[in-house]
Structure formats: structure tokens, C-alpha cells
Amino acid sequence: MDEVIARLATGFTGLASTEAAQRLHVYGPNELQAPTRVSAWHTFAAQFQNVLILILLGATLVSGFLGHTLEAAVITVIVLFAVLLGFIQEHRAGRALEALRKMAAPVARVLRDAEETVVPTRDLVPGDVVLLRTGDRVPADARVTQAVNLAVDEAALTGESAAVEKTVARFDDAGLSLGDRKNMTYAGTLVAYGRGQAVIVSTGMSTEFGHVARLVETVEASRTPLQENLDRLGATLGKAALAVVALVVAIGLARGLPVIEMFMFGIALSVAVVPEALPAVVTISLAIGVRRMVKRNALVRRLPIVETLGSTSVICTDKTGTVTKNEMTVRQVLADEHLFDLSGAGYDPTGRVLEAGHIVEPSPGVHALLRAAVLASDARLATRDGRWQVEGDPTELDEAAIA
């Protein structure tokens, strides 16, 4: 620990504000590199990356060339409807995600000029001493310098749901896995309970989460099953249209009909092969799926992604907190030699105390038991904008809720 302090040229009382400002200029802000923002024009152009849309555009040109103005106008309206609907949905989702990123501007409590202060997480630098307590999000990778019953939930990084107890002890094995480095805390993880201090060693893209972000950037986005199927359908229809043209022209020429007349007739038949309403129907169906997910507080940036979940046959999940809410609910309390049942669910602090199926007033023993549980807990339960906000260990949060 002393070696880390010396190497980072800091102290247990933190950095001076002037030194922190200089280091911020050297290391840059403590944030992950934002993905390249997709422009509105790019989102609009992406709507045309569909074989069916391209075929319909070709059919529109052919219909107009043949003098079928009404058919050309109808196809144009259908294509524009599908393209604009897809563009509006994806553009709105993109703007909503941008707004969420701007709203999520976390802060951290650090020691600056030997005093505790609150600074934006993006302004943290290596050498800063950060203060950690129950419910805090760890702002950067840091070496623990003080730990009082400190445990951190590292599920977001390691996948392990059980909180890891932290220590200030030194480990000489340099090959330890992330989950075994108990004297380190990592950006993006959550303090489950306890309190402590840690000196920051890595920020931004140099953190473990930054390494994960770099790996994610190298992954190429694949096309969804629906997109692949529509492309195959479009290619099949295109080949069928060409075959129709060739067959009609060949038959007509064999019967001695004029070449131009037969060619025009074949083109007209090929246009009829293409289902003009299919892109619009698909877009409307996906848009309805997006709206339903929005009602469930889930944002989808690209329409075809909605269909991917419907194509999923196997979902691999990890126990508590993945397919459940990771909430605990006390059902019974033993006090004054009586067993009481408690109603209610989750962290909503409402419910009744029952004995033998009848609602009763809590006894002094129940009050004393719950009071002791709350006093021994670091969890916090509060209401903001009409919604309950919780911070801390699930067990202690349930104690806070029933108390």
C-alpha cells in the first residue's frame, strides 16, 4: 500500500487541487470513450439498406417510365412511409439514449487539499483518494487503503453475484484473477455494505471496464435473423422478376410479337411480383414492438433488434439479480415469544403485522427488534419523484423497508 502511495506521488490525505488539475490535463477525463454519434442522415440512409426497399424503388422508376403514374405514386408513398417510420423510431431512440447519458453524471467523494469534497467522477485522476460507503458506485480502479466491513458487488465485471469483502492486505501473486484481488476496487462496481477509502490507480479507458469497452468496439454488428430472411426474400423475388421478364419476352418473340411491346409487358409483370406493402407491414410490426418495450422502460435503438429476442431459443442467466429483482422480503418476525407474519413485498414500506391470520398492532418487542435492525444497517431507502430509491445490501434494505 505504501508502495502504491509513493508510486502515485500522493498521500492518505489526497491530492492538492492544483495537482489534480494538472493530472487531469495529462491523463484526461475519467470516462469511457463515447461511441461515435450516428447522424440523422446516416440513420435515414440506413433505412434503404434493405433489398426489398431497393427493389420497390426500382419498380417505381419502371412504373413511371411505362407511364403508370398511379402505380408509381402508390409505391413511392408506401416506401416513404416505411422509411420515415423506421427513421423516426430509431432517431427518437438515439436521442433518448443521448439524454440518458447526459443525465447520468455521477459524482464521487474524495479528499482534496486534505478535506472531503464532492467532485464529478469525470474529474478524478490517478492519486486521488476516494471515499466509499454503502450504495456508492466505485468511480475508478483503486487500491483499498482503509476498509471497515467493506464489501463490493462486482457482478457487473466478474459475473459473481456474491459481494466481495475487501481488505488492505498486500497480495504478492501478480497472476490473481479480478475476483481474487480483494485489495482492489473496480470502476462500475457497487459498494454493497461497509465503508472505506481507496487511492485511484487507473481512470477512464485504462480501467478494467475500459478494457472491456475496447473489446466491445472490435465486435462487428451482425444482421438480425429478420434482416437476413428479408434479404433472402428480396433476392428471391428479384430473381423471380428477372425470370418472368425473360420468359414473357421469349414467348412473345417466339410468337412474332413486337420486341418493345413484349419487353414492356414483361417489366410490368415483374413489378407486380414485388409485394409493395411488405416493407411497410414489417416496419409497422417492429415499431409496435418498440413502443411496447418503451412502456416497459426498455429502449431499442434499431427496429430490427426487437425481432431478435423473438428468435432466441436459449437464454443463459445467472441466478439472483438476473431473472429476479434481487429483492428480499421478511415474512415472519419472532419477538416476545410470539411469531408474527408480515405482509407486503419488495422494498415498498407498506404492509401489515398479523398473528394467527389477524391484523394486530406491533408489540414493543417487534418495535425494538426492527429499531435494532435499522440502527445496525447502512442501507438507505428514500422516495424521489414518487419512486422508491434504494442503496445498500438487499438484506439490510428489507430491514429498512419494514421498519
Q: Are 138 and 208 members of one domain?
A: yes
Q: Judge contact between 8 and 127, C-beta under 8 A.
A: yes
* Domain closes at, from 171, 197, 216: 216
The CA distance from 15 to 318, in Å, is: 40
Q: Are 210 and 128 members of one domain?
A: yes
Q: Are 269 and 385 members of one domain?
A: no
* Domain closes at, from 216, 251, 272: 216
298 domain-assigned = yes
33 domain-assigned = no
Q: Judge contact between 201 and 141, C-beta under 8 A.
A: yes
The CA distance from 253 to 134, in Å, is: 84
Angle ∠(310,314,315) on CA atoms, nearest 5: 90
What is the predicted pLDDT for the residue at 126?
Answer: 93
273 domain-assigned = yes
Q: What is the DSSP string of 225-287?
A: HHHHHHHHHHHHHHHHHHHHHHHHHHHHHHTT--HHHHHHHHHHHHHHHS-TTHHHHHHHHHH
The CA distance from 239 to 53, in Å, is: 15
Please list the ranges in the chain whose pLDDT falls under 70. 1, 34-39, 51-52, 59, 63, 66, 68, 71, 89, 91-105, 216-224, 263-264, 266-278, 280, 299, 301, 318-326, 378, 382, 384-403
Domain of 195, CATH number, reads: 2.70.150.10
Look at the chain and report how many structural domains it folds into.
Answer: 3
Q: Are 133 and 211 members of one domain?
A: yes
pTM of the entire structure? Answer: 0.56
Q: Are 179 and 163 members of one domain?
A: yes
Catalytic position from the list 113, 180, 318, 336: 318
Q: What is each CA distance from 316 to 107, 313, 320, in whole angstroms?
A: 34, 10, 13
Query: Would you state the cell numbers that stand for residue 82, as one nine-digit string?
Result: 416505411
What is the predicted pLDDT for the residue at 76?
Answer: 78
Q: Are 337 and 387 members of one domain?
A: yes
303 domain-assigned = yes
Q: What is each CA distance from 5 to 14, 24, 162, in whole angstroms?
A: 10, 18, 29
Q: Are 237 and 300 members of one domain?
A: yes
Q: Are 129 and 211 members of one domain?
A: yes
Q: Are 134 and 256 members of one domain?
A: no
Would you say how long the chain is, in residues?
403
* Domain closes at, from 187, 216, 245: 216
181 domain-assigned = yes
107 domain-assigned = no
Q: What is each CA distance from 286 to 38, 292, 380, in whole angstroms?
A: 21, 10, 40
Range of the domain at 300: 40-101+222-310
Q: Are 303 and 336 members of one domain?
A: no
In sequence order, what are the beta bridge partners of 231?
none
Q: Judge contact between 312 and 322, C-beta under 8 A.
A: no
pLDDT digits (tens, 9 = 90+) for 67-104: 767 767 777 777 777 777 777 767 666 665 565 455 44
373: nearest Cα among 333, 320, 321, 346: 333
- Based on the residue annotation, tell me whether 318 is a catalytic residue of this protein: yes
119 domain-assigned = no
Q: Judge contact between 4 and 201, C-beta under 8 A.
A: yes
Q: Are 193 and 229 members of one domain?
A: no
47: nearest Cα among 38, 36, 35: 38
Q: Are 338 and 259 members of one domain?
A: no
31 domain-assigned = no
